[in-house]
Structure 1
Amino acid sequence: MEPTYVLSDAERDELYGVLSAVDKSPYEDYSAFSRAVGDLVDRGEVPAFFTEVCGRVRNDRETGAAEAHVLRNCPLDAEIPVLDLDDPVADKHAKKKTFVGETFLELFAQLVGTPLLSYGTRFNGDFFIDVVAINRYSGMQTGFSDSELVYHNDRTAHPVRADFISLLGMRSPDGDYIYTGFVDGRDLLKHLSEEHQEVLRQPHFFTPYDVFSRDNNGDLTVSEKHAILENHHSFRYLDTSTTVAEGSPEIAKDALLELKNALVRADKTRHRILTGDLFTFANQDGLHSRDKMEINDPERARQRWLLKTYAFRNQAAADRHADRWIDGVQGRVGDK
C-alpha cells in the first residue's frame, strides 16, 4: 500500500522534539499522560504539517474516501529495546524509559478525534499494547503469536470493539516479509446478495473468545449470539471461528458460506509495516489479517514489534460505553 504521507527527516525530527518533551508515563497514569499530550495541541506546539495530515485522515474517514492510511518515517524512541518474549509486557516496562512512540500514537488519536480504548484484563489495562510473538502462544491464532492470522476484526467476541486500530512499526526486521492484509467492508458487500445480507444482520451467530482472552479471564468462553453485519458495512467476524448458533434457520449457514466466498473474491490491500510506519485502519468497517509472505530467519522475524492502539470512532461512540469505565478512566473497559 502506498503511504498517505511520508514525513521528511526534518519533519520527523521536528515532531520528535515536540513529543519527547512530554514527561508523563502512559503506563503509570494514562489520564495525566493524555492531558499532557492535549496540552501540546492547546499550546499550538504541534507542527502544522502533522495537524494537516491528521485532518486529511479524519476527513477521509468521515466522507468514506478511505478506511486505511499509512504514514511513513514517523518519530520513534531513540532506543528500541529487544524484548524478552517470555514476558514482553513486564520487560518493556522495565527497559523502556521514554515514550515517544506512545506520545505519537496519542497525539494522532487526539488530532483525528478518535479516543483510545483499552481492556482492563489485558496488558494491565494499558492503552498502548505490544504486538509481539509471545513464546507461550507460538503457532496459535492470536495477534500475540508468531503465526499468520485469518481475516478478522479484533476482539470479535467482546461486546466493546474498537472502530479503528493503529499499528506503529517499532521494529520490522529486514529480510522477512510479513504483511497486514485489509479488506474494506464495502468490497465484501459487493459479493453478498441482498437476501443473505439481511440474514447476516440477524443474531444467528456466535464467536469463541481467543486463547489470549481466555487466559486473561477464565470466565470468557464464547460471545452472546450476534449479527455479523451491522450498520452499513460493519462486520463482526473471525474467519474459521465465527459460526452459526444452535437453533438458527438453515439459511444462516448459506449466508455464512456466501460471506466466506465473498472474503476470497473481494479486493484487498496489503501493507508491510516498516520500522517507523503507522498503519491505521477500520477494525469494524473492514477485516484484517497477518500474512507471512517470506520468512528467511524465523528467530529474527519473531523480534518484530508493533505498538498498537484501539480507538473509538469519535467521542460520542466512546460515551456510549461510559457505564463500563474501570476506576473512572475513560476508555478502559471491563469484560462484562
Structure 2
Amino acid sequence: MYRELPVDFSFTASEQSALVKRLEGIRISPYKSYSAFRHELRMLVANDPNVVRLRDFMEGRRRSSAYEKPFVFLENCPIDSVLPEFGNDNPVAEKHDKKKTFVAEAFLQLYAEVAGEHPISYLNVNDGDVFQDIFPKESLKATQSQKALGPINFHKDLANHYVRPDLVNILGLRSSEENEIYTTFVSNHDLLNTLSPSTQATLRESWFYTPYDDLTVMTGNVQLGKAPDHAVPTREVDFRFFENRTEGQNDAARAAVMDLKAALHANKRRVLMRPGDFVSISNNLSLHGKEIGCIRNEAAQRLRWSIKTVNVHSIAPHLPHVVPGSDYLVNG
C-alpha cells in the first residue's frame, strides 16, 4: 500500500459516523443551488461538536509553513454511504441525476470553511459546478485532464489561467487496491533544493509556453485565445509548469525543462487514494499528477472516483473575473 505522504489527521470512527449521518440530512443540491448549500454548511461548522478536533488541528496548521509543508493529508473522512455507479459517456450528467446524497460535497465545503478557504468554479469546467469529478470520460480519456483514464503528468491546476486556484482539495470515493493507480505529489521546496543555480536562473526567464488545460479548451464556454509565454518559477517559489506540455522556446530552456522533469521524479511521493482519504494541495507551492502501474481490474479503473474543489484564500483579488452576481463563478 503506497502512502508516502504522512497522515496529518484522522477522524475517529464515532466522528466519521456522526458526520455522515448529519451530512446525509442535507437535501439542498450543490449542483442546483450552491449558495444555499454553502450557507447550510457554514451553520453546521459553527455548531457541530464533531468538527472541533478538525478546527483545532487547522488552527495549528496555520502556524506552519505551507512552502515547507504544501500538503495536508486526512483519512477516514465522511463520504456517502451509497455511491451511485455511472458510465463513462456522460458521467457528470448521470451524477446530477443519480446522486441523491451530498456527503462528499458537504465535507469538501466543510473543510474549506474550517480552513478559511473559498471554493470557486469556472464556466469552462463542467458548466460551472463547484464540485468536480476525477472520473474517466470516454471522449476525454486520452487527455491530460481530470477526465483521463490514463496517467496525468505533473502539473498545477489551471497553470496558465488568469484565475489560478491556491488550493486543490481531493477526496477519494471509490478505488481498487487491485490497481496501481497513484496520486503523485512533489513540493516546490524539494525541487528548488534539487535544481542547480544555473537551471533555476534559466527557468526564471520568460522562455516557456504552456497551453491552456484540456478541459478548459475542449469543453469551453469562453474562448481564451493563446496562453502567454512565461517563466516557470514566479513569485520566487511558485511554479507554473505542466510536465510534457510546458515547452522551452530555446535550447537553454529545453535543457532546463529536462532537468526539472528529472527533479520531479527524484522527489515525488505517491499515494493510492482510498475511500475517505483527503488531501489538500497548495497549488502554487507544489505539483501533482496521476501515475499508473499494473492494472488488474480494468472495470474498476473505469469506475475509480474522486471528487474535488479548487479554492482560493480570498475571492477579493479575483472579483473582476467573476460572473456578475456571483462570488465564486469565474467567467472563463
TM-score by length of 2: 0.91
Asked whether the 8 Å contact 1:115–1:311 carries over to 2, the reply is: yes
Aligned residues: 327
Deviation of the 1:250 alpha carbon: 5.1
Q: Does 1:329 align with 2:326?
A: yes
Asked whether the 8 Å contact 1:31–1:329 carries over to 2, the reply is: no
Deviation of the 1:150 alpha carbon: 1.2
Name which of 310, 316, 320 aligns with 1:319.
316
Write the deviation string for residues 243-282 of structure 1: whole angstroms up to 9, x where unpaired: 134xxx65433433332332233x2211111011112212
Cα distance between partner residues in 1 of 2:299 and 2:225: 32
Letter in 2 for 1:264: H
Provide the secondary structure at the position in 2 that maps to 1:295. Answer: coil
Cα distance between partner residues in 1 of 2:27 and 2:59: 26
Provide the secondary structure at the position in 2 that maps to 1:307. Answer: strand
Mean Cα displacement is larger for which, 282-291 or 256-265?
256-265
Letter in 2 for 1:322: L
Provide the secondary structure at the position in 1 that maps to 2:172. Answer: strand
Deviation of the 1:204 alpha carbon: 2.0
Partner of 2:248: 244
Asked whether the 8 Å contact 1:152–1:239 carries over to 2, the reply is: yes
Partner of 1:79: 82
Write the deviation string for residues 9-32 of structure 1: whole angstroms up to 9, x where unpaired: 111012223323433221112122
Name which of 224, 230, 240 aligns with 2:234.
230
Asked whether the 8 Å contact 1:57–1:112 carries over to 2, the reply is: no
Asked whether the 8 Å contact 1:54–1:108 carries over to 2, the reply is: no
Name which of 178, 183, 188 aligns with 1:180.
183
Name which of 132, 135, 138 aligns with 1:132.
135
Deviation of the 1:107 alpha carbon: 0.7
Mean Cα displacement is larger for which, 64-73 or 268-277?
64-73
Write the deviation string for residues 123-171 of structure 1: whole angstroms up to 9, x where unpaired: 1201100100101122332221111111111122322211211111111
Name which of 151, 159, 171 aligns with 1:148.
151
Mean Cα displacement is larger for which, 143-152 or 36-45?
36-45
Write the deviation string for residues 111-134 of structure 1: whole angstroms up to 9, x where unpaired: 111111211121120110010010
Q: Does 1:304 align with 2:304?
A: yes
Distance 1:325 1:8, change over 3 A: same
Cα distance between partner residues in 2 of 1:293 and 1:237: 23
Partner of 1:273: 273
Letter in 2 for 1:100: V
Cα distance between partner residues in 1 of 2:237 and 2:186: 11
Provide the secondary structure at the position in 2 that maps to 1:14. Answer: helix
Asked whether the 8 Å contact 2:136–2:303 carries over to 1, the reply is: yes
Alignment root-mean-square deviation, CA: 2.0
Partner of 1:194: 197
Write the deviation string for residues 70-90 of structure 1: whole angstroms up to 9, x where unpaired: 211111112100022110111
Asked whether the 8 Å contact 1:18–1:45 carries over to 2, the reply is: no
Cα distance between partner residues in 2 of 1:242 and 1:284: 16
Partner of 2:260: 259
Deviation of the 1:221 alpha carbon: 5.4
Aligned residues with identical type, % of pairs: 31
Letter in 2 for 1:252: A
Letter in 1 for 2:87: D
Deviation of the 1:186 alpha carbon: 0.8
Cα distance between partner residues in 2 of 1:110 and 1:84: 32
Deviation of the 1:58 alpha carbon: 3.6
Cα distance between partner residues in 2 of 1:301 and 1:56: 37
Gaps of 5+ in 1: none
Partner of 1:19: 23
Deviation of the 1:61 alpha carbon: 4.9
